[in-house]
Amino acid sequence: MSSGRKPRRTARHGVGEELFDLIKITEFDLHLGEESFRIRVELTRSRLERRRFRANVWRAEHYRIQSTFPQNSGRPRHEPSDELVWINWSEILRTCNKVFVSPSVARAGEAVFNELYAWIRHTRGECDSKPHVWGECPDSKELTTRG
């Protein structure tokens, strides 16, 4: 016999199958030739499987923004402002921007930074060819996610 109650909804209802928690943020300035970028690297870990990770890379950019409203006599009332916007730059990672397995947070972070380091070397022209996995650049640190 039913009690007439509806099943209790959990936080997972309406959300993807796997939730990831942000566990580490690292920021640094990256200099490539005459250009300089403020970079943020985020490491996330699955709530379902503690050995599953994913990383995001963000690049800071400043944009001049002009609000549309409120207006006075058909003109914006406020002056434009320069705002910091984080642009997703995760495509520079070949494997770590997808779910990957690692035995620990430290090893997962190492894998992400090895991949990022290899991308930087390739971008600076220190690798002759574009490898399938950035960690395959000659003389670069090995992309390791195992034991």
Nearest CA to 41 among 29, 54, 26? Answer: 26
Alpha carbon of residue 112 to chain centroid? 10
Q: Which helix (H) or strand (E) holds 108?
A: helix 105-123
Q: Which two tokens stand for residue 13?
A: 């209802």
120-to-24, 30, 111, 127, 133 alpha-carbon distances in Å:
21, 9, 14, 10, 13
**Residues of the chain above pLDDT 70, percent:** 76
Closest of 97, 94, 110 to residue 145, by C-alpha: 110
> Are 60 and 98 contacting, i.e. CB atoms less than 8 angstroms apart?
no
Residues 76-134: tens digit of each pLDDT: 989 999 999 999 999 888 888 889 999 999 999 999 999 898 888 888 888 765 554 54
pTM of the model: 0.70
Q: How far apart are CA 60 and CA 87, in angstroms?
A: 6
- Mean pLDDT of the chain, nearest integer: 81
Q: Do 20 and 54 form a contact (C-beta atoms < 8 A)?
A: yes
